[in-house]
């Protein structure tokens, strides 16, 4: 039979660094940046205000009651498009490899 966990205790555990986590947490405000043992990267300034990058779910999550974006240009790249993360540099690298093999 499992023990019943108090929600506040679980929240406290999640806002604390574990032995194999790397990062900083302000002991007074609870704000901090952590790189978890499982590769999860998270930063929170307040309860419900921060971001999380999760390699397991391949997701980038932003938590904020108000979200403000300032940008000059936005570009959407979808995985169903033929694309590469390294744009022109990828072609240059392939050309260099092809030239090396021809020599």
Give the single-character DSSP code of 15. Answer: T
Element (DSSP H or E) covering residue 22: strand 22-25
The pLDDT profile of the chain, 103 residues, written as one tens digit per residue, is: 444 555 566 555 555 666 788 898 888 888 999 999 889 999 999 888 999 999 998 899 999 999 999 999 998 877 666 655 566 666 777 778 877 766 6
Domain ranges, ordered by start, for the chain? 7-102
Burial level of 40, CB count in 10 A (0-12/13-18/19+)? middle
Residue 59: strand pairing partners: 54
Q: Tell me how far apart the alpha carbons of residues 25 and 23 are, in angstroms, rounded to a whole number.
A: 7
């Amino acid at each position: 039979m499992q023990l019943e966990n108090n929600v506040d205790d679980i929240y406290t555990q999640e806002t604390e660094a574990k032995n194999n986590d790397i990062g900083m947490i302000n002991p007074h405000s609870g704000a901090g940046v952590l790189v978890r043992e499982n590769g999860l990267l998270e930063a929170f300034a307040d309860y419900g205000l921060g971001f999380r990058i999760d390699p397991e779910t391949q997701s980038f999550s932003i938590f904020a009651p108000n979200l403000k974006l300032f940008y000059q240009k936005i570009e959407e790249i979808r995985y169903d498009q033929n694309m590469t993360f390294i744009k022109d540099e990828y072609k240059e690298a392939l050309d260099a490899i092809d030239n090396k093999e021809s020599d």
